[in-house]
Amino acid sequence: MRSPYWLSLLFIVLLQAFPSFAADKPFPDTPVVNPITALNNELVDINKRFKASSGDDKEALQLQLFQKNSQLRELLAAAVRDDKQDKAFIVKQVQIQQSYNKQANAFLDIRIKTLSDDLNNAKDEEKFALLKEYKGAQSHLDEMFQERWQNLLWLQALGKPDEKAVQVAKEDISHRIELLAASMEYLNQQIDADNSQLNVSPESEKATIQLSLIVHQRRLAIATDSFVTW
């Protein structure tokens, strides 16, 4: 099964955030952070194969890159706690993660707004496929917010706190929560309206209203899942 178009674009964002990928040059050996260096080299190798691949192979490599980046974050989490690690190197790695996070956050925010508009304007048979993409994009955005905060905690632990970035992150998280709360309130109102219409509408109109109800219920579930992560 093919990945959604937005996921392919997010992959491009990830490539752009890692300078080493574009250069196609492995990181030099750094014994004190050898696992991180080795994983970075794997990411470079995946990028080379991605450029030479097509079709399903390309999409498989795309997902592999996301998985490898998750593994890299696990290694960084351990490295931050290890006083024997080269802190300057780890700080640089966290800053690369911040660059990716910022770009991915902006992209996903726009993509979610586009998908929301598409859902409102789509034909009935298109809505459920769009809902799947919408849920995936919201889940990725939740992860980006969580990783953004984790990056700041890592920098603080490494002796490189960024109070300005922390304040901006708090404001953005607060705004995200407010938007989710407003969305949940609106969707609950729409669900109530759909149920009221079902009670008074003729049978010939009920199928359309039931579809609207299902879509609103699923969107509410997506917004609620995102809301409870905070």
The predicted-structure confidence for 192-214, as pLDDT tens digits, reads as follows 999 999 999 999 999 999 999 99
Assess whether 21 and 62 both reside in one domain: yes
- pLDDT score of 205: 93
Q: How many domains does the chain have?
A: 2
Residues 157, 94 within the same domain: yes
Nearest to 111 by CA among 83, 84, 140: 140
Query: Hey, what's the torsion of the CAs at 179, 182, 184, 186, to 10 degrees?
Result: -130
Question: How would you class 89 by CB atoms within 10 Å of its CB: exposed for 0-12, middle for 13-18, buried for 19 or more?
Answer: middle
Q: Domain boundary at 161, 180, 213, which?
A: 161
| CA dist 31 → 27, 45, 71, 76, 192 (Å) | 12, 20, 19, 15, 61
Tokens 């700041």 correspond to: 152
* pLDDT 10s digits, 128-186: 999 999 999 999 899 999 999 999 999 999 999 999 999 999 999 999 999 999 999 99
State whether 225 and 190 are in the same domain.
yes
H or E stretch covering 77: helix 55-81
- Whether residues 154 and 173 fall in one domain: no
pLDDT, tens digit, 9 for 90 and up, residues 3-50: 565 666 666 666 666 655 444 444 444 444 478 888 878 877 887 887
> Could you tell me if 170 and 115 lie in one domain?
no
Burial 103-113 (b: 16+ CB within 10 A, else e): bbbebbeebbe
**Residue-number span of the structural domain to which 135 is assigned:** 1-161
CA 129 to chain centre: 18
| Helix, strand, coil percentages for the chain (3-state, nearest 5) | 85, 0, 15
